[in-house]
Amino acid sequence: MTPVPDLTTPTSVVIATTGAGGAVWDEDRSFVLEAVRSLRATSRHEALEFVVVHTSSTPAMTLTALVEVPDVDLVLVSYDGPATSSAPLNVGALHASGRALVFVDERSQAMSDETVGHLVGPLSTPEVGMVGPKLLSPDGSVRSAGLAVSDGQVASPWRGLPDSPDTNPDLFRDRVVDALDACCVAIDADVFHAVGGWSQEVPARYRHLDLGFKIRREGRALHWSAAAALWCFAPDPDLHQARPWETEFVTRRWGKDLSPAT
Amino acid sequence: MPATTPLRTLVGPHPSENLSPDRGADERSQHLLEVLSQARDRSSWSDELSTHVDHWEDRFHLSNQRANVVRGLALDDPDAVLEIGAAAGALTRYLGENASVVDALETDRALAAAARLRCADLPHVVVHELDLDDVPAEPAYDLIVAADVPASSGTAGDDLARLLQTCRRLLRPGGHVVVAVDNTDGVRRLAGGRPPARGDGGAPLLASRDELERAASTAGLGAQVLGAFPDHRHTVTLIDHAALREIDVALLERIVHLPSPPSGDGDDVVDGAQELRSWTEAVAAGTDDTRANSLVLVAGEHPVALDPLTYWSSGRRADLSACNRVRRTSDGPVVVRAHAHPSAPRGDGPLSLRPHTEPYVVGTLLVDVLAATEDADEAVPLVRTWVELLDRSDDGGPVPWDLIPRNVQVDGAGSAHAIDQEWAHATADRRYVLMRGAFWLGYDLLHATPPPAWLAGHTVASAADVLLALGGEDVPVDWRDFLDAEAVSMASVAPRSAREPLEAKIRKERRNLSYLSHRSVSSDDRPATDTVIEGLSAANRELRARVEQLELARRHDEIVARDHAIGLRAKLETALREVGRTRKQLARQRSRSKQLEAEIGALRGSTSFRLGRRIVAPVARLTRRDGA
- The Cα B215–Cα A46 span in angstroms is 42
Q: What is the pLDDT of residue A237?
A: 67
Q: What is the pLDDT of residue B509?
A: 86
Instruction: Show residues of chain A in contact with B563, CB under 8 Å.
Output: 195-201, 214
Which ipTM did the prediction report?
A: 0.85
Tell me the per-residue pLDDT of B174-205, one tens digit each, with 9 for 90 and over: 999 999 999 999 999 888 888 877 656 678 88
Convert B147-158 into a string of H (helix), E (strand) and C (coil). CCCECCCCCHHH
Does A144 score more than 70 pLDDT?
yes
Cβ contact, residue pair A255, B578, below 8 Å = yes
Does B522 score more than 60 pLDDT?
no
Please, what's the b/e burial string for B405-440 (b: 16 or more CB within 10 A of its CB; e: otherwise)?
Answer: bbbbbbeeeeebbbbbbbbbbeebebebbbbbbbbb
**Which of these, B32, B29, B63, lies nearest to B46 by C-alpha position?**
B63
Q: What is the pLDDT of residue B166?
A: 95
Average of per-residue pLDDT values in chain A: 88
Could you tell me which residues come within 8 angstroms of residue B299 by beta carbon, excluding any fewer than 6 positions away?
B164, B167, B176, B177, B178, B179, B216, B219, B221, B222, B223, B224
Cβ contact, residue pair B566, A201, below 8 Å = no
- Pair B337, B357: CB distance under 8 Å: yes
| CB contact A190 to B (< 8 Å) | no
Q: What is the pLDDT of residue A256?
A: 67
Using a pLDDT cut of 70, give the percent of chain B over it: 92
Cα B269 to the chain's mean position, in Å?
16
Chain A closest-CA separation from residue B106 CA (Å): 39
**Phi, psi for B558 (deg, rounded to 5):** -60, -45
> Nearest Cβ partner of A252 from B555, B558, B574?
B574
| CB contact B14 to A (< 8 Å) | no
Query: Looking at A58-62, B394-398, B528-532, which range is the least confident one?
Result: B528-532
Does B214 score more than 90 pLDDT?
yes
Q: What is the pLDDT of residue A1?
A: 54
Which of the two residues, A255 and B571, has the higher pLDDT score?
B571
Tell me the per-residue pLDDT of A70-90, one tens digit each, with 9 for 90 and over: 889 999 998 887 666 899 999
Cα B428 to the chain's mean position, in Å?
35
> Nearest Cβ partner of A94 from B552, B565, B567?
B552
Tell me the per-residue pLDDT of B436-488, one tens digit each, with 9 for 90 and over: 999 999 999 988 888 898 888 788 888 898 999 999 887 766 788 888 889 98
| CB contact B613 to A (< 8 Å) | no
Query: Looking at A74-88, B103-117, B270-284, which range is the least confident one?
Result: A74-88
Q: What is the mean pLDDT of residues B200-219?
A: 88
Q: Which of A26-30, A47-51, B314-318 has the highest mean pLDDT?
A: A47-51
Cα B109 to the chain's mean position, in Å?
22
Does B56 score more than 80 pLDDT?
no
| CB contact B564 to A (< 8 Å) | yes
Cβ contact, residue pair B567, A201, below 8 Å = yes
Q: What is the pTM of this model?
A: 0.60
- The Cα A93–Cα A87 span in angstroms is 10
Chain A closest-CA separation from residue B588 CA (Å): 21
- B171-183 and B294-300 as β-strands: parallel, antiparallel, unpaired? antiparallel
> Nearest Cβ partner of B563 from A91, A197, A255?
A197
- β-sheet bridge partners, residue B176: B143, B300
Chain A closest-CA separation from residue B585 CA (Å): 17
Does B2 score more than 70 pLDDT?
no
Tell me the per-residue pLDDT of B476-501, one tens digit each, with 9 for 90 and over: 667 888 888 899 888 889 887 766 77
Triad A193, A194, A198: Cα angle to 5°:
50
Please name the residue of chain A whose CA is at the shortest distance from the CA of residue B569: A253
- The Cα A173–Cα A113 span in angstroms is 17
- Pair B47, B495: CB distance under 8 Å: yes
- The Cα B234–Cα B182 span in angstroms is 12
Q: What is the mean pLDDT of residues B236-253?
A: 94
